[in-house]
Amino acid sequence: MGEIYVTGHRNPDTDSIAASIAYANLRNAIGDRQYKAVRIGSVNDETRHILDLLGLDPPEFVKDMRTQVRDLDFDQPPELTGSVPINLAWTTMRKNEVATLPIINDDGTLYGVISAGDIATFDMETVYSGVIDDLPLFNLLSVIEGRIVNELYNTVNSVSGNVVVALPSAFESGRCKDGILISGNQPDAIDRAIEHGATCVILCQAELKPEWASLQSPCIISTPMDGRVVSRLIYQAQPVKTICHTKDIVCFHLSDYLDDVREVLLESRFRAYPVLDEEEHVVGTISRYHLLRPRRKQVVLVDHNEAAQSVVGLDQVEIMEIIDHHRLADIQTTMPVSVRNEPVGSTNTILTAMYQEYGVIPSPKIAGLMAAAILSDTVMFKSPTCTKKDVAMAERLSKIAGISIEQLGKELFSNSGAAEKTAAELLQTDYKLFHISGQNLGVGQITCADSATLLKRKPEFLDVMRNLKKAQELDIIILMLTDVLLEGSYLIFLGSDEVMSQAFNVTPKDNEMFLPGVMSRKKQIIPMLTALWG
């Protein structure tokens, strides 16, 4: 089984990133398979600052979770180079029960492809073909189980010419000249071969004379096989590169998505296709059969359970578990899964309890990150989502980390970097989509200690919001400027003034309103709109 990915939502905040890291760390600590923290969005300034402060790396970015070629149980037949005999390719296919083999270069990259049909076609064509060109001696000896009788082995690397059987007609026609003579147990075979100018004689099940060992010409090969078999196998001793396909080869990479691969496979006539890794090395073959029951990526969702906020390709993954502190939304699973959803202010509060339940103490770095995540999501315990459990867990984690709550809070909310960022970047820092009673809503949130500075950029925000509202077909789009010092939020919005006024009982002015005591998108903004639209 492969890795299980742990991911938070798109546009991840500190709680989301910390939860993916913390949960993967917990599972790996108890040896429960291999879990890998990933992210499906950019790391915001707040989160990056905390990660840098603690000396932690952000999770790997994953663009989407659609099924890829690397997720399939594709075939891994032996890798053959272009110099091996055609006969070896054929026996390899039969032994491994495959109909196609990739042929590789010496460095492991793809040279060509050969199929059983190619070998069969070649074999039939040789019935009427009597010429061999530059057949490597090593290949010939291997295929016919032969050995060199004379010393010519030291000077000859390959054999060429007409392939003839030692019959009277062969000598009379002159085809032996510079050719390859196949003979049975005929005492005069060598003498006649020398007389008619043959360059190579293959003696099949024949008695050998001692004097032949000293002959300089022709090349004499002895084999235990009979002449009928040798007359067919000699052609199959040729290098497989002489008949394999090398142009317009259809191949796939481990990173290719199954949606794209399926279309190509259905339009192509071959039964199997090479699979390449990131360095263009051949790692196997794939066929239509492998598309029937693909192995899906296995994913744990943390800090969200809404499809619009989750991974691209959610319909193609196997959700293993959900750990969240938001409302239950619209994600569906094909099988029962473990869901842990608690009414607390941070997903990391739930995870801290899980660490305790498993008897695992997080490292100081992980503990510091989890404490920062709780402070971030509860806005220094000032959000209405904050519970006594959040406070207790954050204080416990801060002691393990060896850093005070006050110091963590100062690091969190004094490093927004807003002046250096565009309005679009700020809006997207913590932005989520919601679908409520047929209404489409987008809500972004910036937590700060100086909302007045950000309000001066209101025209910039509105321009970006207009474009986003149109592109995402939103009914309302809201930007929350949550000020930890004022303990409230300014709302900049586009949409119906009447809806906003009814929902929050405040008359807006110029697409703006201030809501004292409102710190939480989840527990104050979304529920008010849900109650109005529901």
Q: What is the chain's pLDDT, residue by residue, as a tens digit (534 residues)?
A: 579 999 999 989 999 999 999 999 999 999 878 999 999 999 988 899 999 999 999 999 998 888 889 888 888 888 899 999 999 999 999 998 888 899 999 999 999 999 888 999 988 888 877 888 889 999 999 999 999 988 765 667 888 888 888 877 666 666 788 889 898 888 788 888 888 888 889 999 988 888 888 888 888 899 999 989 998 899 999 999 999 989 888 899 999 998 888 888 877 777 788 999 999 999 999 888 888 778 889 999 999 999 889 988 898 899 999 999 998 888 888 889 999 999 999 999 999 999 999 999 999 999 999 999 999 999 889 888 899 999 999 999 999 999 999 888 888 876 556 777 899 988 988 899 999 888 999 999 998 878 888 999 999 999 999 999 999 999 999 999 998 888 899 999 999 999 999 999 999 999 999 999 998 898 899 999 999 887
For the packed helices 45-54 and 405-413, what is the interaxial angle rounded to 10 degrees? 140
Could you give the C-alpha distances from 69 to 103, 178, 289, 314, 511, in angstroms and in order? 20, 51, 13, 17, 49
Give the model's pLDDT for residue 417. Answer: 62
Three-state SS at 467: helix
d(CA 436, CA 160): 79
- For 130, counting Cβ atoms within 10 Å of its Cβ (0-12 exposed, 13-18 middle, 19+ buried), the class is middle
The class (CATH top level) of 418-533 is: alpha beta
Contact present, 516 and 525 (Cβ < 8 Å): no
Q: Please tell me the predicted confidence (pLDDT) of residue 473.
A: 94
Residue type, 136: P
Residues facing 7 on adjacent strands: 38, 301
**CB-based contact 480:521 (threshold 8 Å):** yes
DSSP string, 98-150: -SEEEEE-TTSBEEEEEEHHHHHHHHHHTTS--EEEEEEHHHHHHHTT-EE-S
Three-class DSSP category at 164: strand
* CATH number among 3.40.50.300, 3.90.1640.10, 1.10.287.3510, 3.30.450.40, domain 4-67+297-413: 3.90.1640.10
Q: Would you say the pTM of this structure is higher than 0.85?
A: no
All structural domains of the chain with their residue ranges? 4-67+297-413, 418-533
Lookup: tokens for 409: 């809070």
| pLDDT (0 to 100) of residue 1 | 58
Is 37 in contact with 26 (CB distance < 8 Å)?
no
Strand order in the sheet with 512-516: 431-436, 439-448, 476-483, 488-494, 512-516
Q: Where does residue 182 rank: exposed (0-12), middle (13-18), buried (19+ CB within 10 A)?
A: buried
- For the sheet with 200-204, list strands across it: 131-136, 158-165, 180-183, 200-204, 219-223, 147-148
Half-sphere exposure of 49 toward its Cβ, with a 13 Å CA cutoff? 17
CB distance 185 to 206 below 8 Å: yes
- What would the two tokens of residue 37 be? 């923290």
Tell me the C-alpha distance between 52 and 415, whole Å: 12
Structure tokens belonging to residue 213: 């060992």
List the structure tokens of 346: 């941070």
Q: Give kind and range of the element (H or E) at residue 302.
A: strand 298-302
